[in-house]
Chain A
C-alpha cells in the first residue's frame, strides 16, 4: 500500500477506442484524487469524461502502454480488476439500463450475490442500504413503477451495500427531472458525509459541479484545468464551451456590468452577491 490518502492515482493514461482514427479519447491524463474528496469532471460531449470514468473501473480494454491507474493502492491489471471494482461503485446515465433485478430489493442484492455473500448478511445489508437512500418502503416494487430519480437511488443503494470507498456518478442525473436530480444529489451528499466516500461526478449540471471540492475540465481527452468551483466559475461565459452552464451569480454580474455597474471580479456565490448588492443599496 502506498499513500492511503491518495485514493486514485492516474499516470500518463492514454486510450484510443479500437477501430477509430484521429485523436485518442484520452491523451496523457495525470490525476490524483484524495480520499474523501468530491471531484466534478466536466467537459463538452465527446471530451473523454465517460471514457476516463470507465477506465478507472477497468471497464475499457487498456493495454500495458496505456499508463497506470492505482485505486486504493492497488494498481489496475487484469488480475485484480475485480478487487478494484469492489472499491468503486458506478452510477450510470440511463436509470433503466442498469437496473438488473426484477424488484428494488433484488437489484440491491445483485452486487452482493456476485461476491457470494451469505443470505443472512445480504438481508441485513439490503435493508440498511435501502433505508439509507430512503427507498425501504419500495423494496418489493418493480422498476417500471419507479421514477427515474428513485431508480437512481436504488442504483446507489446497490453500491453502498457493497461498501466501496469511491462512487463515480457518470452523468447520473442528466436524464432526470429537477426533482429526481435533487433527490439523487442529496442522497449522495448525505452518504458521502456518513461514510467518508470519495465522489467523482461526471456532469453538465452546474449545481452538481458547485457541490464539488474540485472541478476538473477535460477537453479533447486532455485535462485543461483543475480548481475549486470558485476558481472555475470565474470563467463566466466560457464555461458553456467547456460543457457547463454559467452560474446564475455570474450571469447577473454580466448583466449588471452591461448596465455599467462596477462589479467585483472574483466569483461570488448567490449568497455573496445578495450581500454585496445589499451593502451597496444601504449606501444610498
Chain B
C-alpha cells in the first residue's frame, strides 16, 4: 500500500481527482521522497479533506473491508475444524490431511492480517465481525460467537468430515467468485491493491482445488468433483445458489464452445471449467448470511 496506489484507487471512484488536487500538485510530486514517513497519514488526510467529503475514501475501503469479512469467515471455519477432536479421541480433520488444512488456515489468517493492516494504513477502520471477541492488536482473528457454521442446524460440519468438506469447497469456490466480483471496483488501482487482491484470489483457488481433490480421491464423494468447477454443479443440492452462473460459456462476447478444441470444438463442460465466474457483493453477502450470528 503506497500513496500512489491510493490516488489511483480514488481516481477510479472520481476520475477528476487529479484536477481537484491540482492546486496541491507540488505536494503530490514530493510525496514518498520528501515528506517524512511518520507525517504521511496526517498529511494525506488533510489534503483529501480539502478536495472531498468522507464518502469517496470510504467507498474505496469497502472493497478491502468486504474481502476482510470473507477472510475472517474462512479463517474461523478452518480454525474451528482444526481444533475439533484430538489424537486421543478422533480428529475431525484426519492425520493425512491436517498439514494441508493447517496451510489453508494459515493463509486465511495471513489474509486477515494483510487486509486489516492495509485498511489501517489508509487511515480507515477495518471491518470486525458481529460479536467480535478476537484481538486485532495481537493478530488473533478467532471469534467463535460471530459464526454458526451449522446455519442453525442445517449443515453437519464439525462432527462430520464429509459435511465439513462440502461447505469448505463451497466457501472457497464462493471466495474465488467474490474476489472476481470485486475487481471492477479496483480497476482504478492497477498498480497496487488490485494486484494483491488477485494474488489472494489465486491462493483461494488453490485451496478450492485441494478440497475438491480430497473429496474426489480421499472420500470418493458421490459428485466426484474435479479440481475445477464443472457446469454449475454444487457438492450438495442445498448449496446450488453458490454455483449459479458458473455454467457461463460466453467470454468477452465469444461463445467458448465455438472455439476449436482438440477434436472438434471445446466441449461445454471444459468451456465452463476453464473460467471462474464473478459473484456480486449482494449475492455473496446473502450466501454467507445464514452462517453469521
Interaction A to B: no
